[in-house]
Structure 1
Amino acid sequence: MYPNSPQVNTQPQHPFLVNQEDEIDLKVILFNYLQYWPIILICAFLGVLGAYFFNQFTTPIYKVESTVIVKDEDKALGADLFESTGFAGLQGKSNIENEIGILKSYSLAIATLGKLDLNVQYFQEDLFKINQIYGNYPVFVKVDWTKKQAVGGLIKLEVIDENTFQLSIEDPESFQIFNPQDPNFKSRVELFSLPNSVYTFGELIQGEFYEFTVEKVSALPGEVLFFQLIDTPSLALSLVEDISVSPSNKQSSILNLGLETPLRRLGVDYLNQLMETYLQRELDEKNRTSENTIRFIDQQLSGITDSLRGSETKLQQYRSENKIFNLSQEGSIIFERLSELEKEKSAAELNLKYLQTLRGYLNNGSKGDLVAPSIMGNADPLLNALVQNLSELQAQRVQITANFTEQTPQVRDINAKIQSVANALQENVNSAITNTQNVLADVNSRIKMIERDINQLPQTERNLLGYQRQFTINENIYIYFLQKKAEAEITMASNMPSNVILDYAKSGQLPVAPKRSLNLLIGLILGLILPIGFITVKDFLNTKIEDPKELEKQIKVPLIGMIGRNGSEDALPVLNSPRSSVTESFRSLRADLTYLSPQKENLTLLFTSSISGEGKTFVSLNMASVFALMGKKTILLGLDLRKPRIAQDFGLVNDKGMSTALSSSISWREVVKASGFENLDIILSGPIPPNPAELLLQEKFGKIIQEIKKEYDVVVFDCPPVGLVSETKELFGFSDVNFYVFRQGYSMKGNTQVLNNLVEKGGVTKIYGILNDLHIDKGYGYGYGYGYGYGYGYGGNSYGYHEEVQLPWWKRALRRRS
């Protein structure tokens, strides 16, 4: 408040306003949004409706799950010798991360798809979309994947009758050409087409980029469906992306497999086949050693069989020709001793041959197939453990390189371990070869000693001993190989996968997507947020004065009152509608003047604004009217010489007025016009002069005002906008109380600075703000009747004292709560 301006609010505040500023602010914000409640409600409904249609038109996605137990294998014989070498962690232990990589590998997906027929996908059209189907196909499309095929696009099939059908291309630009000679790279085709659109079931349909037949299963005439060709590499890549593999927990060796798919049965079939292929792959890895052993033995048997057959033929022929069948007692003893040594020699030679083969394997950079030493009769536990460990490391390398490149740390680490085991194995093999050669040399020397005894035998018996000796050596080797081959075959037949399928694939009954309830909630939230956000941004960017409380904070003078919106076209509601709430606003303002200018019998009021259209004329003429109704002799002066309006509001002719009195010798009394209402006279602005500012600045104007003040109780100035013209600033000196009018939703927020400059720089005193055209639908919570309860004028209810304005239901409810 300014020193010359007394405290206006002498009435007690409304109880709701006492120490509840924060609550008022929240209520103002709530009112501001609730005035748009139909729009917010419609947007919320549209959001929920959009989410509902999204749920209806989106294909449901189901989660198919299965579990696999990854078991740890038993340690191999001699594996404890590697505890200090750092290789024990790989000995007989499954790497969970590697198993996950295998299950998600491209190669396993390719192997799985090779056992399923998924390269042709079938679709049926419903009311709004095309849905994929699986199983119970109306037709069956058989494709020759050894030829080039157009893949990726939809082909429409319409059954004409029992024997014929029609094909058409849905999107010719969506096709790509799959070449089986280069399966990982597909080429584009500009516009794919089928030359003949009508075909017979079972007919071979072929062209440059397609070759397939369509067989009828259960299709009926008029039935329409679609099919799409997908090459195995592309299908495998998509499935690898969709499948998930994870351990059930950090300490568990149980792997959970999951696949999200719109076709539950397809997902079940694929996961089950994937697990079967995974176990078969493990079994094939285990059988590889036995297969290598059998292959090695077969190679040896192919040579020893001919030797055995030849030695047997020679022995029988010699016996027949020389009529000798059995050795003498001395020859038999020598033969038995020689046979034992020959067995030792054969075993040593076989072991030496295996060790030399193993050394060649290592020298060739570990290329080829390893044969277990134990199968070949080598009982060295260290050598057995080294070979088995190397074989397992190489198998793990194959698994890892299916998912990682040579430069990744995992592959480099396994390569380093393979090299370390190979070096250790190389040293052990070299040592074993030397030892075996020494054993073989000892056996040979002992055989030579026995051969001296053989030379003492008769010639015939000596020759028989030689033939029988050769036959026995070959027979023993042959029997030995047959025995080892049988053992390897038994081992291979008894092999079982270490890992086990715990749960076969099963699908959930409810889809995991779309999440219907969540989508409806999101639709509702978006439907609320979007309009509320728009309203918030609109209010933030709004440069017009809306909130009376904000206006009160911005101006440096008191906001003395608020005038509600005039609900009719009548510019004089005070005179024509005395019981209206707008009239009551002016009465309240009139009552406040007894505090603003006490003990003054004559009162001069000035009304101005920043720009035209803010309602200063409406306020000034109704303010003059409210004093006239009180019985005060009142005169309204139209001082806006540039844009006069008072004449048309009172139905008068602006033929003479203040401009006439100032620019001629005519007395001001001669330009006074009756308003048609008791106690109210008017001096119109008169014809628009060429120099309005200069006319109002004459001494004559001051003399006229002095004379008018002597004859009238209340003088009301309707002045030009102070923000647009300069003469209004000079008129402040003739008034007792000045009013600066703002209009809600019309006046710019920057206009408050014009008023503040008048006070701070212009030295204008006793000036007060008025907010005109306050909308009840703006809902700022300042009470019923525009200004009642705001702190100025009559507080509280006005029921029965003026015509009531019906508030919206939500405002009435909030008022009752307050």
Structure 2
Amino acid sequence: MQKDINWEDEFESGGHKSDNKALLRFIHRVRANWYWFLLCGIMGFSGAFIYLRYTLPQYKIHAKLLVSDDKKGGSLLQNAALSELSGIMGAKSSVDNEVEVLKTADLMHEMVLAEKAYVSYFKPGTVHSVPVMQIPYQVAVETAPDSIQKANFFDIMDAERGFVQLQNPDTTLRVALDKPFFLPGTGTVKVSRGLGKRYPAERYGFSILPVRKVVEGLRGALTAEVTNKQVSTIDLTLQHTLPKTGEQFLRTLIDKYVERNLTDKNEIADSTLAFINARLEKVTEELAEVEDRISGYKKETRLADISQQSRILLEGAADFTRGLAEADGQLASLDIVSDYLKDRNRPRVVPSALLPQDATFSGLTGRYNDLILQRERMLLSNTENNPLVKNVDGQIAGLRQDMISNLANTRNQLEQTRRSQQQLASRFNGQLNEVPLIERGYIDLARLQQIKQAQYVFLQEKWEETAIGRTANVANSKVIDVPKAEELPFAPKKKMVYALGLLLGLALPLVTGYFRDLLNVRVRGVEDVQAATALPVLGVVAHSENEHPVVVTPGARSAIAEQFRAVRTNLEFSLNGGNTILFTSSMSNEGKSFIALNLAMSLALLDKKVLLMELDLRKPSITAKLGLPRELGFSHYIVRPELSIEDIIRPSGIHENVFLVQAGVLPPNPAELLVNKRAAQLFEQVKKQYDYVLMDTPPVGMVTDAQLLSRYSDLCLYLVRQGYTYKEQLHLPDDLVTQEKIKPIQLIVNDVRAKGGYYGKYGYGYGYGYGYGYYGQQPGKKKWWQIRKKA
């Protein structure tokens, strides 16, 4: 049943809209296009299934290391004595530093070379290849792996006995087993038949990638982090498509890290031992020479024993001599280390064990030795002109200068101490002047012997400490959780992929509809009209499938006939006692003649006399639509004064109460004819003779004829055709009203087609009968599986 309509509320300019109108429109559009959502949802779900079917799963391999960090505890050197001696070997490690070491490209490079990770195997598939750990063949790169320049992928198949065939889309090679061959961009390669288990008869393949590319890929897949700041543990995570291979890679990486750590410690210890051995050899020679001189002196002077006074003086002088000997030994060590540091041509590890127990210098020495070792490792795969090497060189130069300055300060302090000891020794020397000359000569030699003896003992002690420390060297880290892969892959996540595929599928119709609305430039319904203009909409006329221009007939109960009756009813409120209606639009083919004909027929059914005037003097169409012959018309009446109104008024042939004034002959000056005084007389008379006068005029957006005729009209009905009129043209009627060129104006939306919009199938727009059929009857409903046919 048709709802009662309050026209004042319905057509009030700027009237209030229902708050949920947009939501209802959206819901009805979704319901009307449910099959698209179903289809796209199935497509999205299928796409997710295909993605999961052909996407390689990724596994996470976890391991945990315990690192010796004095700040957090957890030292691996449990013996107190060994822990003290370990300080001789260099700087202390921290867990944060070790995390950065584990992430370095050099360490990953060593692992890739050890595991030959630049060679991988796969099974060719229809969509993509599936990686495997082993195949019935083994591929080895005989040349240096770092010389691999480009990636090569080959399917490998058996040929005749002792040969295999390597094939890819660009190349086919026939090579002998166990015999090296040259592969461009890779180097010398050898293919051998694998030993061990038997493999099914399937296709296999292998790939050889540049080492640098493999290193970067594995570095990106490796995560090293300290998850708990309270302990010195490092969590390692490696992502890989093969869990067993990933476990092996991570295990080898840890082994290389431990091996490198021990190598660094042993290198510092070996350098210190070599230096001490050289010094011991020289001091031993000097001590032997002094002892020979003492023996010769005694033999020459026949000195068996010194006097009691000489013994007392000697014992007193011995204390100061020992102090001088220690000072001389430390100064000699400072000079040697200083010479090491001043040699800029070849940076070497500094033997920190020979230096004074200075905490600042020990820290500088540890950092310096670490940088020297880092530089040597970088030079294995880079040149000295590499920016990274130059950066390390700059850091080494800065540390070297700081160490030289520290040594200079230490030397000044030692020299001051030595001068103090020398002053005390001079006091005893004055007393020794009273000793006989022979005894004095003996005392000088004995003093020199004590000095050399003190140096020898000092070096011997340091050698023993260093040797013990080297023997006690252990890695600063320990594996407390061996590499282990997770049972289930972490990617792709099936539930998330299915949900995302379904959501994307359901969103596709929404996005498509949004962009269609966004890019649409033509009027698609009453909503577009209301959004673009504040003028009232007098009525909505549906699309007509009838080929005859007149769809309103006596007794007709069709939807479109009911809509014209609604427009006829609304005219009673809009004319305000007038009877002359002007029809115009923005451009041609918007349905002015069709609306005028049927509205005239609808008014005639009320037993009203209606005059339909064909005033489009440029392109008349009503006469042709009605199939009438061309006779005298409006243009004849204006230019021929002898003609009367009765001479140009003809029956329309569609109803006895509908009459027609044809356009007549097409004049060269239609605008001038419309403002002729005879035209004013004509309109004055027909208004009196007929109940309604309907004027079909040219489009107002193209010529001024409608504006000229508006002076004779009481109401202008402006036609807007769905899917034809441009949205930009809707400002024309507003401008005409604002500028008072045509007033009043009301709109009629023509050729409306039901497309599952806001109001669904029944009662589109304002609901004036569209879809009613016969009053009181419900239209036939389609089954749920039937897709409606769009007009």
Residue 227 in 1 paired to residue 228 in 2? Answer: no
- CA–CA distance in 2 between the matches of 1:545 and 1:110? 66
CA 1:559/1:284 → structure 2, altered by over 3 Å: closer, same or farther?
Answer: same
Residue 623 in 1 paired to residue 623 in 2? Answer: no
Residue 635 in 1 paired to residue 611 in 2? Answer: yes
- CA–CA distance in 2 between the matches of 1:571 and 1:274? 87
Which letter maps to 1:395? N
- CA–CA distance in 2 between the matches of 1:288 and 1:114? 23
- CA–CA distance in 1 between the matches of 2:782 and 2:351? 93
Q: Which one is further off, 45-54 or 113-122? A: 45-54
- The DSSP-based 3-state class of the residue aligned with 1:198 is strand
Residue 143 in 1 paired to residue 127 in 2? Answer: no
Give how far 1:572 is off: 1.7
CA 1:699/1:421 → structure 2, altered by over 3 Å: closer, same or farther?
Answer: same
- CA–CA distance in 2 between the matches of 1:148 and 1:289? 32
Unaligned runs of 5+ in 1: 1-7, 77-87, 172-192, 311-328, 332-336, 457-472, 811-818
Kindly indicate whether the alpha-carbon contact (under 8 Å) linking 2:651 and 2:658 is maintained by their aligned counterparts in 1: no
Kindly indicate whether the alpha-carbon contact (under 8 Å) linking 1:157 and 1:168 is maintained by their aligned counterparts in 2: yes
CA 1:287/1:635 → structure 2, altered by over 3 Å: closer, same or farther?
Answer: same
Which letter maps to 1:613? N
- CA–CA distance in 1 between the matches of 2:257 and 2:96? 15
Instruction: Please give the per-residue CA displacement for 1:628-652, whole angstroms capped at 9, x wherever unaligned.
Output: 2223333323222322222343333
1:673 to 642, 646, 651: 651
CA 1:621/1:151 → structure 2, altered by over 3 Å: closer, same or farther?
Answer: closer
- CA–CA distance in 2 between the matches of 1:269 and 1:141? 19
CA 1:363/1:228 → structure 2, altered by over 3 Å: closer, same or farther?
Answer: same
Alignment of 1:71-90 (within 5 A): 71-73=68-70
Q: Which one is further off, 361-370 or 271-280? A: 361-370
What's the counterpart of residue 625 of structure 2? 649
Kindly indicate whether the alpha-carbon contact (under 8 Å) linking 2:324 and 2:418 is maintained by their aligned counterparts in 1: no
- TM-score between the two structures when normalised by the length of structure 2: 0.73
Residue 727 in 1 paired to residue 705 in 2? Answer: yes
Residue 748 in 1 paired to residue 726 in 2? Answer: yes
Kindly indicate whether the alpha-carbon contact (under 8 Å) linking 1:43 and 1:531 is maintained by their aligned counterparts in 2: yes
CA 1:725/1:60 → structure 2, altered by over 3 Å: closer, same or farther?
Answer: same
- CA–CA distance in 2 between the matches of 1:707 and 1:360? 130
1:215 to 168, 175, 192: 192
Kindly indicate whether the alpha-carbon contact (under 8 Å) linking 1:563 and 1:786 is maintained by their aligned counterparts in 2: no
CA 1:220/1:681 → structure 2, altered by over 3 Å: closer, same or farther?
Answer: same
Alignment of 1:100-119 (within 5 A): 100-119=99-118
CA 1:307/1:49 → structure 2, altered by over 3 Å: closer, same or farther?
Answer: same
Instruction: Please give the per-residue CA displacement for 1:764-815, whole angstroms capped at 9, x wherever unaligned.
Output: 44442222222322624499435546xxx89x996852776679999xxxxx
Kindly indicate whether the alpha-carbon contact (under 8 Å) linking 1:581 and 1:804 is maintained by their aligned counterparts in 2: no
What's the counterpart of residue 66 of structure 1? 63
Kindly indicate whether the alpha-carbon contact (under 8 Å) linking 1:581 and 1:786 is maintained by their aligned counterparts in 2: no
- CA–CA distance in 2 between the matches of 1:705 and 1:165? 102
Kindly indicate whether the alpha-carbon contact (under 8 Å) linking 1:744 and 1:774 is maintained by their aligned counterparts in 2: yes
- CA–CA distance in 2 between the matches of 1:685 and 1:499? 105
What's the counterpart of residue 761 of structure 1? 739
Kindly indicate whether the alpha-carbon contact (under 8 Å) linking 1:120 and 1:229 is maintained by their aligned counterparts in 2: yes
- CA–CA distance in 2 between the matches of 1:290 and 1:407? 22
CA 1:690/1:226 → structure 2, altered by over 3 Å: closer, same or farther?
Answer: same
Q: Which one is further off, 124-133 or 578-587? A: 124-133
Which letter maps to 2:207? F
Give how far 1:170 is off: 5.3
What's the counterpart of residue 187 of structure 1? none
What's the counterpart of residue 574 of structure 1? 552
Give how far 1:582 is off: 1.1
- CA–CA distance in 2 between the matches of 1:660 and 1:642? 14
Alignment of 1:292-371 (within 5 A): 292-296=271-275, 299=278, 356-365=332-341, 368=348, 371=351
Instruction: Please give the per-residue CA displacement for 1:74-114, whole angstroms capped at 9, x wherever unaligned.
Output: 999xxxxxxxxxxx9x9975344422222222333344445
1:276 to 243, 251, 255: 255
What's the counterpart of residue 749 of structure 2? 771
Give how far 1:501 is off: 2.4
- The DSSP-based 3-state class of the residue aligned with 1:776 is coil
2:775 to 801, 808, 817: 801
Residue 563 in 1 paired to residue 541 in 2? Answer: yes
What's the counterpart of residue 134 of structure 1? 133
Residue 506 in 1 paired to residue 484 in 2? Answer: yes
- CA–CA distance in 2 between the matches of 1:167 and 1:730? 88
Identity of aligned residues (%): 24
CA 1:167/1:301 → structure 2, altered by over 3 Å: closer, same or farther?
Answer: farther
Residue 610 in 1 paired to residue 580 in 2? Answer: no
- CA–CA distance in 2 between the matches of 1:746 and 1:704? 34
CA 1:582/1:658 → structure 2, altered by over 3 Å: closer, same or farther?
Answer: same
Kindly indicate whether the alpha-carbon contact (under 8 Å) linking 2:132 and 2:242 is maintained by their aligned counterparts in 1: yes
CA 1:591/1:301 → structure 2, altered by over 3 Å: closer, same or farther?
Answer: closer
Give how far 1:487 is off: 6.3
- TM-score between the two structures when normalised by the length of structure 1: 0.71
Kindly indicate whether the alpha-carbon contact (under 8 Å) linking 2:119 and 2:206 is maintained by their aligned counterparts in 1: no
- CA–CA distance in 2 between the matches of 1:58 and 1:70? 38
- CA–CA distance in 1 between the matches of 2:765 and 2:110? 83
Kindly indicate whether the alpha-carbon contact (under 8 Å) linking 1:620 and 1:716 is maintained by their aligned counterparts in 2: yes
Kindly indicate whether the alpha-carbon contact (under 8 Å) linking 1:635 and 1:715 is maintained by their aligned counterparts in 2: yes
Give how far 1:307 is off: 12
Kindly indicate whether the alpha-carbon contact (under 8 Å) linking 2:648 and 2:661 is maintained by their aligned counterparts in 1: no
Residue 393 in 1 paired to residue 392 in 2? Answer: no
Unaligned runs of 5+ in 2: 76-86, 290-303, 307-311, 379-387, 443-450, 785-791
- CA–CA distance in 1 between the matches of 2:323 and 2:163? 73
- CA–CA distance in 2 between the matches of 1:215 and 1:538? 62
Residue 684 in 1 paired to residue 683 in 2? Answer: no
- CA–CA distance in 2 between the matches of 1:610 and 1:33? 33
2:177 to 165, 187, 201: 201
Instruction: Please give the per-residue CA displacement for 1:688-738, whole angstroms capped at 9, x wherever unaligned.
Output: 344444444444445554554555433332233333333333433444443
C-alpha RMSD of the superposition: 5.5
Kindly indicate whether the alpha-carbon contact (under 8 Å) linking 1:158 and 1:222 is maintained by their aligned counterparts in 2: no
- The DSSP-based 3-state class of the residue aligned with 2:368 is helix
Kindly indicate whether the alpha-carbon contact (under 8 Å) linking 2:329 and 2:455 is maintained by their aligned counterparts in 1: no
What's the counterpart of residue 223 of structure 2? 244
- CA–CA distance in 1 between the matches of 2:162 and 2:469? 55
Instruction: Please give the per-residue CA displacement for 1:437-475, whole angstroms capped at 9, x wherever unaligned.
Output: 9999999x99xx99979x99xxxxxxxxxxxxxxxx999
Which letter maps to 1:24? K
Alignment of 1:139-178 (within 5 A): 139-145=138-144, 151-168=150-167
Kindly indicate whether the alpha-carbon contact (under 8 Å) linking 1:67 and 1:257 is maintained by their aligned counterparts in 2: yes
Give how far 1:573 is off: 1.6
What's the counterpart of residue 24 of structure 2? 27
Give how far 1:614 is off: 1.4
CA 1:366/1:113 → structure 2, altered by over 3 Å: closer, same or farther?
Answer: farther
Kindly indicate whether the alpha-carbon contact (under 8 Å) linking 2:632 and 2:647 is maintained by their aligned counterparts in 1: no
Give how far 1:250 is off: 4.3
Which letter maps to 1:228? I
- The DSSP-based 3-state class of the residue aligned with 2:115 is coil
- CA–CA distance in 2 between the matches of 1:404 and 1:244? 25
CA 1:20/1:783 → structure 2, altered by over 3 Å: closer, same or farther?
Answer: farther
- CA–CA distance in 2 between the matches of 1:278 and 1:565? 81
- CA–CA distance in 1 between the matches of 2:726 and 2:159? 74
Kindly indicate whether the alpha-carbon contact (under 8 Å) linking 1:153 and 1:170 is maintained by their aligned counterparts in 2: no
Q: Which one is further off, 345-354 or 114-123? A: 345-354
- CA–CA distance in 2 between the matches of 1:716 and 1:411? 101
- CA–CA distance in 1 between the matches of 2:452 and 2:409? 35
Kindly indicate whether the alpha-carbon contact (under 8 Å) linking 2:582 and 2:694 is maintained by their aligned counterparts in 1: yes
Q: Which one is further off, 118-127 or 147-156? A: 147-156
Kindly indicate whether the alpha-carbon contact (under 8 Å) linking 1:205 and 1:213 is maintained by their aligned counterparts in 2: yes
